[in-house]
Structure 1
Amino acid sequence: MSTAYLIGEAINVLADQIPVTPKAPPGSEKLINIVNYLSWLVMVAGVAALIYAGGKFGWERFHGGALESPKIVLGALVGGVIATSAGGIMQAVVTGTG
């Protein structure tokens, strides 16, 4: 047998699929409940940031000066997208589906 053949067979063995079926640990319902509450709080904080940025934008336009509110709006929107997609991203990472 050649070295290339042995290396190929070793790669085939190492590349075999290992079936993994994730199961929730005992007591995970409480942790999931806490994560759901945190997700809800993140959404409320995002809405509050958008409302604050809208008010600040009006104040800055009325009184002049530098516009900082677009940065707040952008930050709230990007944070909201990341927060809402975090569950899907982690599901894809854990299960390997995409």
Structure 2
Amino acid sequence: MTTLLSAARDVTVLAQEIKITPTRPPGGDKLTNLVGYLSWLVMLAGIAALIYAGGKFGWERWQGGAVESPKIVFAALVGGIIATSAGVIMNAAVSGG
């Protein structure tokens, strides 16, 4: 039993936490601008998808056919949620919590 406790104590010593603090690389401002532009494009695409889905919904209701536009709305909303929370998701994935 004492050897088991001794082994457990050795394992806890080996599993010490390593702190890593990310730093911005040289030229990081340009990358931040690029990410900002891409974020703007993603939002623009989401708005365009919602407008398209609204028009398609009206057309489908007028024609009396199958209504498929809610799928487009749902996909645009899920994509927007993921895109706007990408920083939080990556921070949780990289920092582990």
Structure-1-length-normalised TM-score: 0.87
Gaps of 5+ in 2: none
Amino acid at match of 1:39: S
**CA distances 1:49-94 after superposition (whole Å, capped 9, x unpaired):** 0000000000000011111101000000010011111111112223
Displacement of 1:11 in angstroms is 1.5
Find the counterpart in structure 2 of residue 14 from structure 1.
14
For this pair of structures, how many residues does the alignment match? 97
Displacement of 1:15 in angstroms is 2.1
Matches for 1:18-57 after TM superposition, within 5 Å = 18-57=18-57
1-structure distance, mates of 2:66, 2:36: 38
Amino acid at match of 2:95: T
1-structure distance, mates of 2:7, 2:30: 48
Q: Runs of 4 or more off by more than 6 Å in structure 1?
A: none
1-structure distance, mates of 2:10, 2:25: 34
**CA distances 1:8-54 after superposition (whole Å, capped 9, x unpaired):** 12211222122221111111211111111111100010000000000
User: Aligned pair 1:72/2:34, yes or no?
Assistant: no
In angstroms, what is the RMSD of aligned CA positions? 1.7
Shifted more, 6-15 versus 33-42: the winner is 6-15
2-structure distance, mates of 1:69, 1:84: 23
User: Aligned pair 1:59/2:59, yes or no?
Assistant: yes
